[in-house]
Amino acid sequence: MHRPLATSAIALILAAGPVFADVTPNEVWQSLQDSYEDMGYQVDVGTEEGSGDTLTLTDVTLTAAEDDSTDMTLIMPRIEFTATGDGGVRSVIDGQMTLEMRDTGPEGEEIGFAMTMDAPGNETISTGTLEAMQHDFTMPTLMIEGRALDDVNTVPVTATLTNVTGTQTVTTATDGSATQTGQGRAEAVEMQITATGPSPTLEDPTLEDPALEDDMTNGAGDDAATEGTATAEPAPDATDSFGATLRIADLTFEGEGTTPAGEVSFGSQPSEALKAGFSGRGSFATGEMTGQFTSDVAALEGGSSQSSGDFSAASGTLAVSMSEEGLTYEGSTTDMQTSLTSTDMPFPISYVAALNSFRLAMPVVASEAEQPFSLRYVLEGLTLDDAIWQAMDPESTLPRDPASLSIDLEGQTVLTQDFMDPDYMEGTATGPDGEPQMPFLPRSLSIKDISLDAVGASMQMAGDLTFGDDPSQPVGTVEGTFSGINTLLDRLVQMGVVPQEQLMGPRMMLAMFARPVEGNPDQLQTELEFREGGSIFANGQQIQ
């Protein structure tokens, strides 16, 4: 099982700050070392000095367990633990921490990243007992520099968090299981990406075609060889550049988790850990977010292609939770504004959206019993810039009211294999007969709402379907209403998008699937009935 690189990195960074504590520095370090080993890491210390009220460690190195496919090394140059005199312990990490992780990608390639972390002035005050601890941490500044270790993604990334504060509590039960809660805040976050390098040489695409290669080999004509070979490429000294900045104000985070007793580690055995009782939940919320980017890419014909863009949002949220009951992943942004310009585009692209949110919930542990899943997506108040409308509809034929989209689905499914098993993740799951097996078997689907409102037309659909052994043959009914469709078709003809003589086909299709609502000819309704055996009826008329 490949350890998720980002997940492991976050866990290590957080654990390196608010350490687990007891009444003496030595007991603090022992608890910290035990916690790292419980996570599946080997801990080595260069030197260890002191006793009583002070303990100093140098070259503290964490590495992945031997049975872990991920090659991971975290080095903390110096950690000092000092008793505060009132039953607490003050811990400080001195020097630049380094983290390097390597893994194997889906195609067998080596992937990974390296990062350095500086937290001058960091401090953690830990109080309580070994069974119930509270850790209050402060980092005036946390500076992170990282880069990928593969041959392609070598773009350096830097991030700075200012005025980081937070509290973590750890409670250990008599059976060895532990429960953690945490919350914190960063006054501001700024991330930067800056990369410049030689433009890559493009390969000749025609040589991938054996027929063209044979023609050139057999002398099919100088013209064919000349025209069929992509000899154009950036000049030898051409360079590409990219830069981006992201700023976040008032980042807050909170979370909680439960680690079961025993030797099972979520990092190396996630499915087993979930079944044993592992659970975790974390959420982030932000104030205003702004970002910009610029790029300059060498063009084959000479010169360069230049692009730039920016975006902003008034607020944002992101939350993830996982347990034996399932996985949920959700987030949202409000009052988002985006703009993009490029020398390759005829006009700038700019739009705003009042709300963009999503939520996904699904099972992760295999079971013969049905388990719930759901998917929701909402886009409200999407408004395009006048430059886009001027290019598409200069005569203002279409209404330019804000558009909206809503998708709300839920249902029941049978998960035949643990979601976090390597076979599932790599798409190699097989059944008892050795044949490829679909691990996600839907049993029912409730379409609570699918609605779209744009350019003067609207659609709403809802219904319920059930599934047998063949997911391609559902049984059930889906109903829908449509408004403004005929008017929209007429406007498209007026704009010249659809010729008048070609309008009969779309109207005939509409007549097959929908019927006018009595008293309102511009409103249509439909009822799609899916029957056993794969037959489909629209408003009582069989269409399949």
Question: When comparing pLDDT for 298 and 396, which is higher?
Answer: 396
Which residues share a beta bridge with 117? 97, 144
265 alpha carbon, distance to own chain's centre: 23
In terms of residues, how long is the chain?
544
* Dist. CA 163–CA 185, nearest whole Å: 8
- % of the chain at pLDDT higher than 70: 81
Confidence of residue 319 (pLDDT cuts 50, 70, 90): very high
511 pLDDT higher than 90: no
31-79: per-residue pLDDT in tens?
778 777 766 788 999 999 987 799 999 999 999 866 555 688 999 999 9
pLDDT confidence of residue 519: 77
Q: How far apart are CA 260 and CA 172, in angstroms?
A: 10
Residue 287 to residues 135, 142, 249, 251, 317, Cα–Cα distance (Å) = 26, 19, 5, 7, 9
**pLDDT, position 36:** 77
User: Average pLDDT for residues 518-543, to the nearest whole number?
Assistant: 87
How many secondary structure helices (H) and strands (E) does the chain include? 9, 27
List, as one string, the DSSP characters of 74-107: EEEEEEEEEE-SSS-EEEEEES-EEEEEEEE-TT
pLDDT score at 204: 41
pLDDT band at 477 (very low <50, low <70, confident <90, very high): very high
Backbone angles phi, psi at 84, to 5 degrees: -85, -10
At residue 513, the pLDDT reads: 80
d(CA 94, CA 98): 12
Of 93-97, 298-302, 533-537, minimum mean pLDDT range: 298-302
Res. 457 pLDDT band, cuts 50 70 90? very high
pLDDT at position 235 = 55
The predicted structure's pLDDT at residue 509: 78
